């Protein structure tokens, strides 16, 4: 079991900076997800932790020991790749046993550990089967078994579910998380899928263009996004933005958007002036005849118990989640009401969230 | 635009009936979505309307005309394929104009220009008209592919999973746009997909298809709230409906012939365990942001329910479960209509 610490980590590929000055700690036993679009630097960061890539600058510490320039094989970390490769001519037992046999672990010890691993993954009944006859899911479990059996200090996983179809990915997501709850090993997991990140993580680091924009529990990054990028990347549908020119001051509890006054969580920052954006999650928007901001219904998407209604306003498109029983007509002119407590305010030029009472709400994650 | 009718259509490939006695009416101006897994027969149905496959039995009618044995060219349909197949050496403009310049239905150039510009505006690709088709993003290419169907005004648009190759965000965007365009044009569309969200959000009506047969057809709400049987119930809803034996949880209102209960996440209420028989263990709390999915185990059954994201439930907790107006299914898996059901919902 291990704590992983990354300090001022930087990686340069020629003139391109893939990772810019990252610092974070993954505490012992945590399921830590690095989330971001392709090219954001998440996989490069993971590969540096693994020792598959050397940093241009900065340090990596494993349980307080510096491992920055150690070989991958000296780091006692198991890396699970996107495409699992199993030995097709070996049965399940031998595939799982392989890393131990190659380390010279005794036959008896290997036997005990393979069986224990199979029990954890609930594949004991498959041990003597050939891997070539297995279903996709069972192959994946065997590949995981090969990583677990070594009992490494930490697991690093690079989109291990990326190649699976949606339904199966969901299932494996649940299994991975429950496996983590059973063995409690520190895990760093890379994905571009926000739903997967929200579902799996104790903590999420959201990366954009080589920079970690926010680290927090799934609920924190959803409720209190640090930037417009995070607010847009997390959530399905994402946060909507109402863009306006204006100024806000410490202690204020409302903003003026065009003619409308909209209540916001109390501002905790000195004056900010210029292009601003009000951020609203779909569940924080309702329709109200007397709503100060007006919009036209652009579309309604039925989802069973709820629906997502998309509204065109003068300040941008807004999505609202409401019960499917609410009747809306396309093109209809409606008023919007916002739930003050959940609203976020951004400096639209930099994308940075302005500090407000929103950030003082404690969330459970 | 016109009404399209399939009447007792059967299509066999060798010994296998890909489509088995399928009847379907698509009303003028309707967006009908055929929903089903791979191999259910949805694409074959679409291809028979297009004339790319010939039925072994039954009739295909477009606008009251029997076209069962007519070739595709005379059917007046426009097909959008899953993989956008654009002409890479042509500009976006020429790709869009292509169907209007075909010898069979050649239009004067000034009319071509007007149609192309209208459709480009509709799809928000006006600024890309001069680009080569290959110099576009995936989303833009798929817009052009859809646009190439839209420049014509055929009796029906046939769409074969046109959004499935796009990433989630783009898919959500185009879903909404395609629906808006359909309403604006009053277009008749037969759209096939295996994506239930696409079906629910876009369809005027959904036809649920399995093993070549139409299992149920109705508005998204009808199919979601009043599925004919267990199979249909599992096709809509995220996460999928919980199907449990009738005696797993207390169900005082269950009809006598009920064997299985279908409980969607919103039909399962969770509470603190009180030592009773309906005791479950919480295995995993899945965060979605606006809500949490709670994954539970009771006996050897796995169930999923919803909770407020700010509730305190955590993995390992023992909880009690209560059913709230669930669905009941009989021995054969057919849903049992219970009295008073019409009072709620629609």
Cα gap A163→B95, rounded to integer Å: 33
Q: What is the mean pLDDT of the segment spanning A72-86?
A: 80
Residues B258, B167 share a domain? no
CATH of the domain at B310: 2.40.50.140
Point out the least confidently predicted range of A72-86, A140-154, A289-303: A72-86
B279, B154: one domain: no
Answer positive or negative: Cα dihedral of B22, B202, B184, B151: negative
| pLDDT per position as a tens digit, B268-301 | 999 888 766 678 999 999 999 999 999 999 988 9
Per-residue pLDDT tens for A14-44?
989 999 999 999 999 999 999 999 889 999 9
Closest-approach residue (CA) in chain A for B173 = A237
Collect all residues with Cβ–Cβ distance below 8 Å to A303 and sequence separation of at least 6: A324, B197, B200, B201, B238
B184 shares a domain with B325: no
Q: Do A303 and B283 touch (CB under 8 A)?
A: no
Write down which residue in B184, B200, B233 finishes a domain.
B233
Q: Domain of B248?
A: 238-343
B149, B187: one domain? yes
**Are A219 and B183 an interchain contact pair (Cβ–Cβ within 8 Å)?**
no
Which residues does residue B312 pair with via DSSP β-bridges, in sequence order? none
Say if pTM beats, i.e. exceeds, 0.90.
Answer: no
- What value does the mean pLDDT take over residues B106-111? 90
DSSP letter assigned to residue B127: G
Alpha-carbon distance A101 to A334, whole Å?
A: 69
Same structural domain, B141 and B49: yes
pLDDT at site B35: 96
Residues B220 and B257 in one domain: no
Residues B255 and B280 grouped into a single domain: yes
Distances in Å between the Cα of A154 and the Cα atoms of A78, A337, B45 are: 6, 47, 51
The enclosing domain of B25 has a CATH number of: 3.40.50.300
> B184 and chain A: CB distance < 8 Å anywhere?
no
In the structure, what pLDDT confidence band is assigned to residue B343 with cuts at 50, 70 and 90? Answer: very low
Does A84 have pLDDT greater than 70?
no
Token pair recorded at residue A353: 């969230």
Domains in chain A, start-ordered, CATH in brackets? Answer: 4-223 (3.40.50.300), 236-360 (2.40.50.140)
Residue numbers in B near A195 (CB within 8 A): 288
pLDDT for res B342 = 47
Are residues B199 and B229 part of one domain? Answer: yes
Q: Which of B204, B233, B262 corresponds to the end of one domain? A: B233
Chain B CB contacts of A302 under 8 Å are 200-201, 220-221, 224
**pLDDT > 90? residue A286:** yes
Predicted local distance difference test score (pLDDT) of residue A83: 60
Omega of the bond leading into A136 within 30 degrees of 0 (cis): no
Nearest CA among B185, B172, B233 for reference residue B78: B185
| Shortest Cα–Cα distance, B231 to chain A (Å) | 16
> Are B275 and B180 in the same domain?
no
Mean per-residue pLDDT, A343-354:
97
* pLDDT of amino acid B225: 95
The answer to whether the Cβ–Cβ distance between B221 and A177 falls below 8 Å is no
Buried b (16+ CB within 10 A) or exposed e, A105-133: beeeebeebbeebbebbebeebbeeebee
Query: Which pLDDT score is estimated for A1?
Result: 66
Burial annotation A164-197 (CB, 10 A radius, 16+ → b, else e): beeeebbebbbbbbebbeeeebbbbbbbbbbbbb
Interchain CB contacts (distance < 8 Å): A and B:
86
Q: Which residue has the higher pLDDT, A83 or A117?
A: A117
Together in a domain, B182 and B285: no
Closest Cα of chain A to B201: distance in Å?
4
Closest partner residue to A364 among B283, B286, B310, by Cβ? B310
Average pLDDT, chain B: 90
Residue A271: pLDDT band with limits 50, 70, 90: confident
The count of C-alpha atoms lying within 13 angstroms of the C-alpha of A104, restricted to the half-sphere facing its C-beta, is: 0
Q: What would the pLDDT profile of B21-56 be if each residue is shown by its tens digit?
A: 999 999 999 999 999 988 899 999 999 999 999 999
Asked if the model's pLDDT at residue A362 lies above 80, the reply is no
Instruction: Please say whether the dihedral angle defined by the alpha carbons of residues B80, B83, B84 and B90, taken in this order, is positive or negative.
Output: negative
**Residues B83, B158: one domain?**
yes
The complex scores an ipTM of 0.84
Whether B78 and B152 have beta carbons less than 8 Å apart is answered as yes
The pLDDT, as a whole number, for residue A365 is 43
**Predicted local confidence at residue A160, as pLDDT:** 84
Residue B52: the pLDDT is 93
CA distance A55 to A11: 5
What's the total number of domains in chain B?
A: 2
* pLDDT tens for each residue of A332-341: 999 999 999 9
pLDDT of residue B344: 44
pLDDT digit string (tens) for A131-151? 888 887 788 888 888 888 988
How sure is the predictor about B346, in pLDDT bands with cuts at 50, 70 and 90?
very low
**What string of H, E and C letters represents the secondary structure of A181-210?**
HHHCCEEEEEECCHHHHHHHCCEEEEEECC
Chain A residue numbers touching B138 (CB-CB < 8 A): none
How do residues B198-241 score in pLDDT, each as one tens digit?
A: 999 999 999 999 999 999 999 999 999 999 999 999 999 988 99
Tell me which residues of chain B, numbers 266 to 285, contact chain A at a CB-CB cutoff of 8 Å: 266, 283-284
pLDDT of residue B345: 39
Assess whether the previous peptide bond of B342 is cis (omega < 30° from 0): no
* Residue A135, phi then psi, degrees to nearest 5: -70, 165
Residue pLDDT, tens place only, A163-184: 677 777 888 888 889 889 888 8
Q: B249 CB near a chain A CB, below 8 Å?
A: no
Among B203, B233, B263, the domain boundary falls at B233
Q: Give pLDDT, residue A144.
A: 86
Nearest to A310 among B176, B197, B315 (CB): B176
B52 CB-contact burial (10 Å; exposed 0-12 / middle 13-18 / buried 19+): middle
- B194 and B77 in a single domain? The answer is yes
Token duo for residue B178: 């395609």
């Amino acid at each position: 079991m291990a704590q992983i610490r990354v300090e001022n980590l930087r990686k340069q590929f020629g003139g391109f900076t893939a990772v810019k000055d990252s610092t974070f700690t993954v505490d012992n036993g945590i399921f830590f997800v690095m989330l971001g679009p392709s090219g954001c630097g998440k996989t490069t960061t993971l590969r540096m932790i693994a020792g598959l890539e050397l940093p241009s600058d900065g340090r990596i510490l494993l349980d307080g020991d510096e491992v920055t320039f150690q070989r991958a094989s000296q780091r006692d970390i198991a890396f699970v790749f996107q495409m699992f490769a199993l030995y097709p001519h070996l049965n399940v037992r031998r595939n799982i046993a392989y890393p131990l046999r190659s380390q010279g672990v005794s036959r008896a010890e290997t036997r005990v550990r393979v069986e224990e691993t199979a029990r954890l993954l609930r594949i004991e009944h498959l041990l003597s089967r050939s891997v070539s006859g297995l279903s996709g899911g069972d192959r994946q479990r065997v590949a995981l078994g090969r990583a677990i059996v070594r009992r490494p200090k930490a697991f690093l996983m690079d989109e291990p579910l990326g190649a699976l179809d949606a339904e199966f990915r969901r299932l494996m997501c649940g299994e991975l998380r429950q496996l983590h709850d059973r063995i409690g090993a520190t895990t760093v997991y890379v994905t571009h899928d926000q739903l997967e990140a929200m579902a799996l993580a104790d903590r999420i680091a959201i990366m954009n263009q080589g920079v970690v924009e926010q680290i927090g529990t799934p609920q924190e990054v959803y409720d209190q996004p640090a930037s417009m990028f995070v607010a847009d990347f997390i959530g399905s549908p994402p946060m909507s933005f109402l863009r306006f020119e204006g100024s806000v001051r410490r202690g204020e509890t409302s903003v003026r958007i065009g003619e409308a006054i909209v209540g916001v969580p109390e501002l905790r920052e000195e004056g900010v002036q210029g292009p601003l954006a009000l951020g609203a999650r779909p569940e924080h928007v309702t329709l109200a005849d007397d709503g100060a901001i007006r919009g036209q219904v652009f579309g309604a998407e039925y989802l069973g118990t709820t629906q997502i209604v998309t509204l065109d306003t003068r300040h941008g498109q807004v999505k609202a989640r409401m019960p499917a029983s609410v009747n809306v007509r396309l093109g209809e002119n409606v008023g919007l009401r916002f739930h003050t407590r959940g609203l976020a305010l951004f400096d639209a030029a930099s994308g940075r969230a302005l500090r407000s009472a929103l950030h003082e709400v404690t969330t459970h994650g | 635009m016109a009404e399209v009718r399939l009447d007792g259509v059967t299509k066999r490939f060798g010994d296998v009936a890909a489509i088995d006695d399928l009847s379907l009416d698509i009303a003028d101006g309707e967006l009908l979505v055929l929903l089903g897994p791979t191999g259910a027969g949805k694409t074959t149905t679409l291809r028979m309307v297009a004339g790319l496959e010939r039925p072994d039995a039954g009739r295909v009618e477009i606008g009251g005309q029997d076209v069962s044995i007519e070739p595709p060219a005379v059917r007046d349909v426009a097909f959008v394929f899953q993989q956008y197949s654009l002409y890479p050496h042509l500009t976006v403009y020429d790709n869009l104009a292509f169907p209007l310049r075909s010898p069979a239905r050649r239009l004067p150039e000034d009319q071509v220009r007007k149609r192309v510009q209208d459709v480009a505006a509709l799809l928000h690709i006006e600024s890309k008209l001069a680009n080569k088709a290959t110099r576009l993003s995936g989303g833009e290419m798929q817009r052009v592919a859809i646009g190439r169907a839209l420049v014509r005004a055929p009796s029906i648009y046939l769409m074969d999973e046109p959004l499935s190759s796009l990433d989630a965000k783009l898919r959500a965007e185009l879903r909404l746009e395609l629906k808006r365009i359909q309403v604006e044009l009053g277009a008749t569309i037969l759209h096939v997909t295996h994506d239930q969200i696409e079906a629910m959000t876009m369809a005027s009506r959904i036809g649920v298809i399995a093993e070549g047969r139409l299992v149920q057809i109705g508005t998204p709400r009808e199919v979601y709230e009043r599925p004919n049987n267990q199979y249909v119930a599992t096709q809509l809803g995220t996460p999928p409906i919980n199907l449990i034996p009738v005696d797993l949880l207390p169900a005082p209102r269950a009809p006598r012939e009920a064997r299985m209960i279908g409980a969607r996440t919103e039909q399962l209420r969770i509470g603190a365990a009180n030592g009773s028989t309906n005791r479950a263990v919480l295995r995993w709390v899945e965060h979605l942001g606006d809500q949490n999915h709670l994954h539970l185990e009771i006996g050897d059954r796995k169930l999923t329910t919803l909770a407020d994201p700010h509730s305190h439930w955590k993995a390992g907790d023992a909880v009690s479960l209560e059913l709230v107006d669930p669905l009941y299914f009989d021995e054969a898996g057919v849903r049992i209509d219970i009295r008073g059901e019409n009072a709620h919902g629609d």
